[in-house]
Structure 1
Amino acid sequence: MSTIIFRTIAPYIAALAVLFSIFVLLRGHNDPGGGFIGGLIAASALSIYGIAWGVAPVRRALLVHPIALAGFGVFLAAFSGFLSFFVGKGFLSGLWVTLHLFGVEIPLSSVMLFDTGVYFTVVGAITTIALTLEEPEQE
């Protein structure tokens, strides 16, 4: 499906979907959303862009191979679990730190780090599958 209308609107749809996926990721661990759903939304945005323009522009837009992105996500999720060992808690126990920047308190948690790792893992894995399916067959 490479109509002029779809090719024109696909970059805008993909950009909005990626922004929405980041919103869903940041929405939190206890509310509807998180890393998995946000990652699925971002991967679908990349798939829409790939259907409109092809595989090569999506690979150029990612800057890294999607499998490397998935591997980084697994590392980040595992790292967030091991952080709790340094304070004497069990694996994947939630830790919170509050940063004070310009008079604003910003709470950060290891749960958010875990969700970010899941986000990168899902984006990398699903994008790899989608790009593999979209590539033309080579004989």
Structure 2
Amino acid sequence: MNYLIPLEHYGKLEVRREIAEYCKNRWVALHCEKTGENGMQIMIRYRRGRPLVINSESEIMELIKSYENYRPRAFYATAHIYSRLNNREDLLDRNNIVYSSPVWDIDSKDGDWRKVIRKAQEIVSLLESFGVFKSVFIKWSGRGTH
């Protein structure tokens, strides 16, 4: 992957704002291109022993610059929203979870993205039939949607 593409993308203010808004009170991971000794791409989940968090859009470029040697390429955030994220123990405390977002992962085995979209639409329709519609969003990632 051309490392300049993620840098250009995260350089956009609207992208950083959306990421920061979604990541608020969530445990964050920074997915990097560089691989570890095991051959797997590095995921940075902690900073100075504390869970990685993003509280503002300005922190996104700061994180990218701090870990530029690892070539950051994507941000991930938990489905859980926490009351506090000060230490590792906060992640283990179920009473610290304020909300959880249900997530469906729809991948395509044969590469037909149209099937993925149809399945996502079915799930959205079902949720809408139960009155859930304001907090539903679909994101595309690689082979499918979440």
TM-score bracket for this pair, using the shorter chain length: under 0.3
Identify the structure with the greater helix proportion.
Answer: 1
Asked which structure has the greater RCO (Cα within 8 Å, sep 6+), the reply is 1
Max radius of gyration: which structure? 1
Identify the structure with the greater strand proportion.
Answer: 2
**Normalising by structure 1, what TM-score?**
0.22
